[in-house]
Amino acid sequence: MGKKIFGVDLGGTTVKMGLFDEEGNVEEKWEIVTRKEENGSYILPDIAASIKEKATKRGISGEDIIGVGIGVPGPVDDNGVIYKAANLGWGVFSIKETLSGLLDGIRVEAGNDANVAALGEMWQGGGKGYRNLVAVTLGTGVGGGIIINGKILTGATGAAGEIGHIHVDDEETEVCGCGNCGCLEQYASATGVVRLANRRLAKDDAPSILRGKNLNAKVVWDAVKAGDEVAIEIAKVFGEYLGSGLASIACVVNPEVFVIGGGVSKAGEILMDYFVEPYKKHVFHASKDVKFALATLGNDAGIYGAARLVLD
Amino acid sequence: MGKKIFGVDLGGTTVKMGLFDEEGNVEEKWEIVTRKEENGSYILPDIAASIKEKATKRGISGEDIIGVGIGVPGPVDDNGVIYKAANLGWGVFSIKETLSGLLDGIRVEAGNDANVAALGEMWQGGGKGYRNLVAVTLGTGVGGGIIINGKILTGATGAAGEIGHIHVDDEETEVCGCGNCGCLEQYASATGVVRLANRRLAKDDAPSILRGKNLNAKVVWDAVKAGDEVAIEIAKVFGEYLGSGLASIACVVNPEVFVIGGGVSKAGEILMDYFVEPYKKHVFHASKDVKFALATLGNDAGIYGAARLVLD
């Protein structure tokens, strides 16, 4: 029946899991609950039990399994050791060895969830066909994952790709969640877009369909699409910050492609109209011809990337 | 007598060359002229002849040579292909294959000169003992080289580490050599320091030992060391820009250490007094404990790094 891979995306509430073939086709997807009691000590045994159960049900033997990949919400080094995941109650230990031990020695690879999702987009998503990419997640915050020559760039303390905290504004007085002021995340995340919108709306009385609405990123982008002039101004400010931030990233790692995902990216191609020009204005000429693509795997990027971890 | 390596640093005027043992000790250094006539077609044959002559003189046979590494002033991909070096008259071709052919099949590896110098500082210089570093060269411009897990980060078009063109000021109206405004290089290079000094001196009549002097980076830093208040103001502005730029780099690649070199770095440890605090202010917490070191190999970094290329 061909070799199989299990991809696991461990989140704070649920564990997403997928069964893949070597070509990256997902054969089945399912979820289990993340049990965080007892400092998260049930989590890996629960995952191992679920994998074993699925394998038994489908008649997949140990020799048919190439391995199990897992993305986790915390810094993970190149040896599969996690350095604390406060959200799960975890301290420092080898996920790779522990989970492999629970799975009778099957090969396990582990990575940080944002980095693993970037790998997924490279394998089967918006970055397919590329081996040097930066995945940018415009969600509640701004996250990132960097892939160099097909492999995750981890960094010295697992913090490579923390692009939400690139400094893009010297004048900012509101404080970012990280304690600094002027981080990219303060403008380009879903909450950042709302912040920019509220700021613009408070500036004067210019008419806008945004007034009186319960704002979120979708409402703002819908207004941009509807041609609302105030919303378009907001989108331009958003685009200036995002373009400038991506240009700085390109000066450092010179990727082939930026893959844009996360909630804000659901606005679609219209996003490009606002940040690509500022990007080109700011970036060093050697990185001007970088490609931009939208992420296509959505919440499944994590299981795809996790599965891809064991193909190296 | 042990295996030998030749390291070659190809510049626009001279070719620096070194004979190394495997441990990274340089046994002899010499230079030849870079002949740029005929679109640089003499350059590689001259280098090959010089290596053969040196090997013969020292009784080193082909089997004793691990290989020849070369750093060149232009973008070089991971396969040793150069994509134009206008300064030398070169187009696109494989340096690795061409030079190896001229050396009877001896292994050749090639890289961009700034990246190769970074590798040299990792091997035997200010970054010794680390495997994830960013080398920052504060010279006429600001250049960089990024080493990840002991290997050069090349980038999609050979432009990774072009950190001089990170955008650090939105208000700048003077144009950088690259055509943009507000690049790190406009403040942190040797010419940038002089520009900041001239700007500060023109602002008012505050007394300063810098007034009436023929300014260069050394003169400015000497005045800082002498306690000149205007010079100290200039150093603070320099430090704010450099610290902010390095913080953005750290958010992307999360290095273990920054190694600071180039002409401006000759001012010494006093530099750190001005940019480390702004760095810590701007950077994401996971990169706060990065190390800072001064480059120690000076103009020899290129031959060291070139030699190191063939040890992988």
pLDDT in tens, A262-296: 999 999 999 999 999 999 999 988 899 999 999 99
Around Cβ B272, how many Cβ atoms within 10 Å?
16
CA nearest A142 in B: which residue? Answer: B251
Residue type, B63: E
Contacts of A102 (CB under 8 A, 6+ apart): A44, A45, A47, A48
- Band (pLDDT 50/70/90 cuts) for residue B170 is confident
- Is the torsion defined by CA of B146, B151, B153, B154 positive or negative? positive
Task: Answer whether A285 touches B (CB < 8 Å).
Answer: yes
Nearest residue in A to B252, CA atom:
A161
**pLDDT tens digits, A208-263:** 999 999 999 999 999 999 999 999 999 999 999 999 999 999 999 999 999 999 99
Report pLDDT for B87.
Answer: 83
pLDDT > 90: percent of chain A? 90
Q: What is the residue type of A77? A: D
Could you give the CA distance from residue B187 to residue B169 in angstroms, rounded to a whole number?
A: 10
Q: Residue B43: its pLDDT value, please?
A: 97
pLDDT, position B192: 96
pLDDT of residue B31: 97
For the ranges A24-38, B29-43, B157-171, B243-257, which has the lowest average pLDDT?
B157-171
B217-264 per-position pLDDT tens digit? 999 999 999 999 999 999 999 999 999 999 999 999 999 999 999 999
Query: A161 touching B, CB under 8 A?
Result: yes
Instruction: Note the pLDDT of residue A177.
Output: 87
ipTM of the prediction: 0.91
Q: Please compute, for residue A149, the number of CA atoms within 13 A of its CA located in the half-sphere on the CB side.
A: 14
Region A195-206: what's the mean pLDDT? 97
Residue B269, pLDDT above cutoff 90 = yes
User: pTM for this structure?
Assistant: 0.92
Distance from CA of B153 to the nearest CA of A (A): 7
Find the CB nearest B162 among A78, A167, A251: A251
Contact between chains at A252 and B163 (C-beta distance less than 8 A):
yes
Dig out the tokens for B108 from the structure. 């050749």
Secondary-structure percent of chain B, ordered helix, strand, coil, rounded to 5: 45, 25, 35
Residue whose pair of structure tokens reads 């604390």 in the numeric block: A84
Query: Does the beta-carbon distance from A252 to B78 stay under 8 Å?
Result: no
Contact across the interface for A163 and B249, Cβ inside 8 Å: no
Let me know: does B37 contact B20? Beta carbons within 8 Å: no
Chain A residues within 8 A of B170 when measuring between CB atoms: 169-170
Q: Which helix (H) or strand (E) holds A51?
A: helix A43-58
User: What is the structure's pLDDT at B209?
Assistant: 98
Say whether B42 sits in a helix, a strand or coil.
Answer: coil
The answer to whether residue A58 scores a pLDDT higher than 90 is yes
Under DSSP, the state recorded for A25 is -
Is residue A14 pLDDT above 90, yes or no? yes
pLDDT (tens digit per residue) in B182-230 = 999 999 999 999 999 999 999 999 999 999 999 999 999 999 999 999 9
Nearest to B278 by CA among B248, B241, B250: B241
Residue B1 has pLDDT above 80, yes or no: no
Q: How does the average pLDDT of chain A come out, rounded? A: 95
Which positions in chain B touch A285 (Cβ < 8 Å)?
Answer: 178-179
